Structure 1
Amino acid sequence: MTTPNTRTTSQGASTASQDAPTASPDAPTAPRSLTTSQFFATSLSPAERAAHGRHARSHSPRSSHGWFDPDPKRPDPVEVIEHQSATRVQELVPIRYGRMTESPFRFYRGAAAIMATDLGPQPHTGLTVQLCGDAHLLNFRMLASPERHLIFDINDFDETHPGPFEWDVKRLAASLAIAGRANGFSLKEQNTLVRTCVGAYRERMRAFAGMRNLDIWYAQEDTDSLRQLMASSMNRTARRRTQAAAQKARTRTSIKAFEKLTRMTAEGRRIAADPPLIIPLRDLLTDPAAEWQGLETVFAAYARSLSSERRHLLRRYRLVDIARKVVGVGSVGTRCWIVLMVGRDDDDPLLLQAKEADESVLAAHTDAEPYDNQGRRVVSGQRLIQTTSDILLGWTHVDLGLDGRGRDFYVRQLWDWKGIARPETMDPGMLGLFARVCGACLARAHARSGDPIAIAAYLGGSDSFDRALAGFAQDYADRNERDFDALGDAIRIGRVQAESA
């Protein structure tokens, strides 16, 4: 069992199996092998697992989560961001800073590394799960399942890593307080948002504690179940908005991305340049033709990370064009490529996104064993947390590069039925409904990778943890505003450069 004020590990009595899904036989090897005793679940009884969860209260009382007390040695937040930006594409870093200074909420989206340095030294429960690592509210959205059903799930796994379950819950809770402030909600309304979210997490985890393992694994939030879940609380306007959001998500397809991001040229269909946000590879390299063979080798390595039937599907497409694309807020400056492939003809496109995977911001604060490939870390975490993942989700390593340095990437489809929430347009009631679904969804993710019996026993049946997290969220929202101001000051004195794009 992990003790407070120590770094958490990926092994422990509180966790269920932490093994990643098995890749294809010729995929890169896992960072370590599992013995039989390590592979199979602990022999602890449900009563013993529950006792373990309740025992965690002795070193990490639920009430202790009710505030944020910064470590005396807390680093300068601007230094944390600068350190993270040092290995990124330097001409894009000012865009990152420009986006982060648009609002405290936009800053928070890009400040996962800062929050990791804040949570790392704090006492924790030691109840380990596979964390999303950046569980703010905009990283929950509608997605397409391989069966072409619209589901609601976590979407971003760049920072996924084993760690104490409450780190994800705290990041989600603080994001709700920050979003509530941006919308002009009262303090009471902000606290209600947080308590609604955390209460949904706690109640869903208690339900999972009584379920069979396979039933937990099969659980998901599709649009039908979401409508049933919120039917008693949703008014006509909310129902109409939810239906419209689902319909819009279904229009965000690879075909739509193909129409928006490409154009016909003398050489055929190619990705359209839109600098500095989209720059084709041909415009970045002095001799792109010389790199093409190497790129095909890179994609062959990516294909080996897929199962055999999905490799067969990928072989039906040929590589046509590649471009660098700026994405997100916190991710700006990481190397992200969009890849255009075509199958039968130009009317049969496939657009992939290959995104650089660096070490998780949580890695320095845990003792979890490292992966041999950070793209593999992202993919393994996503497959463990999500109910169903993109059929073309895989990873690769790139030894090519404009800076001559090898890097890890994960690959997925671009725009596959993704619906993005717009919290700035929501009133307290609608955002509360969204918060409720996010909390329940996060509990499902944690129940798949951790021990729902131990976590449920720790949380208990009262709202003690819910109320505590409301206090933490307010404290951290205050801290986030000060850090937001610090970045603005750094820009004003010329310490860092920012630009809008």
Structure 2
Amino acid sequence: MGSQMVSRRIYADRTEQSFESAEERRAQGKAYRKELPIEELGRYVRSDRDPVAILKKQDETRLPDLVPLRHERMSASPFTFYRGSARLMAFDLAQQPNTGQQVVACGDAHISNFGFFASPERRLVFDLNDFDEAAPGPWEWDVRRMVASVVLGAKDANYSDEDVQHLAQQTAHAYRIAIRGLSQQSALERYYQSIDEQLIVDRLDASSLPAFQKVAAKARRRTSVQAVTKMTELDENGRLQFREDAPVLTHLIDAPARDLRKLYREYLASASPDIRLLLEKYRLIDGARRVVGVGSVGTRCYVVLLQDAVGQPLVLQIKEAVTSVVTEFNKPNASTPDTLQRREHNGKRVVDHQRILQAVSDPFLGWGSAGGHDFYIRQFRDMKGSIDLSKLNARGFEEYVTGCGLLLARAHSQSPALHWIAGYLTKGAKFDKAMTRWSMAYAEQVDEDYKRFVA
């Protein structure tokens, strides 16, 4: 009996040394408003920098033949430029005032990086869907990237200045209200929260429903079978292979092909036991390089074609993971979540942080290395879909960005800083207005940078 009491006391001492209650953390956040008034978050601090030089630094690690395509895609509009310039914004964000509280951050939470995908139970869910830059960092960085993207996206869709400001403020409002609400829930309740197709249908305005239903129906059709139908052909021996479609889809020469097989073996070792056993029923029959996205163009990205014993296909995507721009420019402190290893494998970093930030994740996630590069692996087109913002009416756009704000808050609520942030954020609209003011100013900066980039 005595030894049990000693054991309990030792255990309590170890866990309670740095443990603070939700009330204590909220009080700390509230008190910090005196150190950094919320209005101060709305002040955009300009820095003397060369935007083109900062962006071209990334070109040094990209595949040289794809760099012109990356620049071409970024040059389409200020919004596409913004999507491809996470590194430039991370540099700028490091110059801005922040509270010093850090979370597991998405690192690239612009509004085009939210979308639909299949849960392991085959539900269609809506959530953050890009984690290449995910790492511990200031919570304000994600909010600023999200709200600024609303400004640029709305301008791209030709909304009036008044409507742009309203949409930006609504996004920040949704985040603030969600953070405060989530802080009243238990950690388990927050962990299990997700937004699925039915929840969206129940809440959408009737005028927005057709656009959503069209996207949802298209997402359900985006499977490995559909990908194989569109992307493959039979070779002269009747075997299935990827169809050459340069520069988007190209077959590999011998050395990269060998690297890909080595990488696939490493991936199997990283996969969960159930997926590893499942994939024993498949054989790898082809691989190809595939160009994706805007900011990702030039990184090494591949698709591999697998086939089971009855000829059914499965397509996996293998994507290079490089050092996060958040990690590059952020300065860790005592509040930084301990989710990074000292010699971090960047593929593992992406997978680990995706699992933290998403309510449900692709069960096929894994990682590996080849040719001196880190990669992560996932299913290709597993009911993935995104909403074309240009097809939304004003009410639909507002509902969409509101959902983005809610989901970013849910992602941030997985970190210990939640209650501190909830205490810092007031019941009033000071934060909403500050984020809007900052984002409107930053959108002007993006316009200037875009003109220099395309000059």
Match of 1:378 in 2: 350
Query: What letter is aligned with 2:46?
Result: P
Kept after mapping to 2: 8 A contact 1:194/1:470: yes
Match of 2:335 in 1: none
Kept after mapping to 2: 8 A contact 1:385/1:449: no
Query: What letter is aligned with 1:187?
Result: D
Which structure shows the bigger proportion of residues in helix conformation?
2
Kept after mapping to 2: 8 A contact 1:49/1:453: yes
Query: What letter is aligned with 1:372?
Result: E
Q: Is 2:344 aligned against 1:390?
A: no
Q: Tell me how far 1:256 sits from its aligned partner.
A: 0.8
Kept after mapping to 1: 8 A contact 2:208/2:392: no
Kept after mapping to 2: 8 A contact 1:159/1:360: yes
Q: Count the aligned residue pairs.
A: 436
Match of 1:215 in 2: 189
Kept after mapping to 1: 8 A contact 2:45/2:95: no
**Aligned match of 2:82 in 105, 108, 124?**
108
Q: Is 2:213 aligned against 1:248?
A: no
Match of 1:297 in 2: 262
Kept after mapping to 2: 8 A contact 1:255/1:349: yes
Q: Is 2:398 aligned against 1:432?
A: yes
Q: Secondary structure at the match of 1:396?
A: strand
Q: Tell me how far 1:111 sits from its aligned partner.
A: 0.5
Match of 2:228 in 1: 258
Query: What letter is aligned with 1:114?
Result: L
Q: Tell me how far 1:45 sits from its aligned partner.
A: 1.4
Query: What letter is aligned with 1:228?
Result: D
Match of 1:320 in 2: 285
Q: Secondary structure at the match of 1:92?
A: helix
Match of 2:4 in 1: none
Q: Is 2:162 aligned against 1:195?
A: no
Q: Deviations over 1:311-339 (max 9, x none)?
A: 10111111111111110000000000011
**Separation in 2 of the partners of 1:47 and 1:279?**
56
Kept after mapping to 1: 8 A contact 2:105/2:136: yes
Kept after mapping to 2: 8 A contact 1:197/1:435: yes
Kept after mapping to 2: 8 A contact 1:280/1:322: yes
**Separation in 1 of the partners of 2:257 and 2:427?**
59
**Separation in 1 of the partners of 2:121 and 2:128?**
18
Q: Tell me how far 1:453 sits from its aligned partner.
A: 1.5
**Aligned match of 2:324 in 346, 350, 360?**
360
Q: Secondary structure at the match of 1:220?
A: coil
**Aligned match of 2:271 in 278, 281, 306?**
306
Q: Tell me how far 1:450 sits from its aligned partner.
A: 3.8
Kept after mapping to 1: 8 A contact 2:257/2:287: no
Q: Is 2:278 aligned against 1:335?
A: no
Kept after mapping to 1: 8 A contact 2:80/2:294: yes
**Aligned match of 1:416 in 375, 382, 385?**
382
Question: Cα gap change, 1:138/1:292 in structure 2, threshold over 3 Å: closer, same or farther?
Answer: closer
**Separation in 2 of the partners of 1:60 and 1:279?**
52
**Separation in 2 of the partners of 1:162 and 1:47?**
24
Query: What letter is aligned with 1:304?
Result: A
In terms of mean alpha carbon deviation, does 171-180 or 420-429 score higher?
Answer: 420-429
Match of 1:463 in 2: 429
Kept after mapping to 2: 8 A contact 1:56/1:126: no
Q: Secondary structure at the match of 1:260?
A: helix
Question: Cα gap change, 1:483/1:40 in structure 2, threshold over 3 Å: closer, same or farther?
Answer: farther
Q: TM-score, normalised by structure 1?
A: 0.84
Q: Secondary structure at the match of 2:120?
A: coil
Kept after mapping to 1: 8 A contact 2:207/2:396: no
Question: Cα gap change, 1:84/1:206 in structure 2, threshold over 3 Å: closer, same or farther?
Answer: same
Query: What letter is aligned with 1:318?
Result: R
Kept after mapping to 1: 8 A contact 2:41/2:97: no
Q: Deviations over 1:49-90 (max 9, x none)?
A: 10222233233321112132212xx32110011101111100
Q: Tell me how far 1:254 sits from its aligned partner.
A: 1.2
**Aligned match of 2:123 in 149, 157, 160?**
149
Query: What letter is aligned with 2:70?
Result: R
Question: Cα gap change, 1:259/1:186 in structure 2, threshold over 3 Å: closer, same or farther?
Answer: same
**Separation in 1 of the partners of 2:17 and 2:385?**
36
Q: Secondary structure at the match of 1:448?
A: coil
Match of 1:449 in 2: 415
RMSD: 1.9
Q: Tell me how far 1:428 sits from its aligned partner.
A: 2.0
**Aligned match of 1:174 in 131, 141, 148?**
148
Query: What letter is aligned with 1:311?
Result: R
Match of 2:337 in 1: none
Q: Secondary structure at the match of 1:327?
A: coil
Match of 2:34 in 1: 58
Kept after mapping to 1: 8 A contact 2:208/2:393: no
Q: Secondary structure at the match of 2:65?
A: coil
**Separation in 2 of the partners of 1:349 and 1:41?**
53
Q: Tell me how far 1:197 sits from its aligned partner.
A: 1.0
**Separation in 1 of the partners of 2:374 and 2:13?**
31
Kept after mapping to 2: 8 A contact 1:53/1:127: no
**Separation in 1 of the partners of 2:170 and 2:20?**
32
Q: Could you list the runs of 5+ residues in structure 1 that have no partner in the other structure?
A: 1-34, 400-405, 490-501
Match of 1:13 in 2: none
**Aligned match of 2:373 in 382, 386, 407?**
407
Query: What letter is aligned with 1:394?
Result: G
Q: Is 2:129 aligned against 1:123?
A: no
**Separation in 2 of the partners of 1:203 and 1:114?**
29
Q: Deviations over 1:225-277 (max 9, x none)?
A: 222333xxx1x331122222211111111111111111111240001111111
Q: Deviations over 1:356-393 (max 9, x none)?
A: 00000111222445442100110011011001111110
**Separation in 2 of the partners of 1:255 and 1:37?**
55
Q: Is 2:434 aligned against 1:479?
A: no
**Separation in 2 of the partners of 1:257 and 1:363?**
34
**Separation in 2 of the partners of 1:155 and 1:459?**
26
Kept after mapping to 2: 8 A contact 1:305/1:396: yes
Question: Cα gap change, 1:392/1:484 in structure 2, threshold over 3 Å: closer, same or farther?
Answer: same
**Separation in 1 of the partners of 2:17 and 2:102?**
14
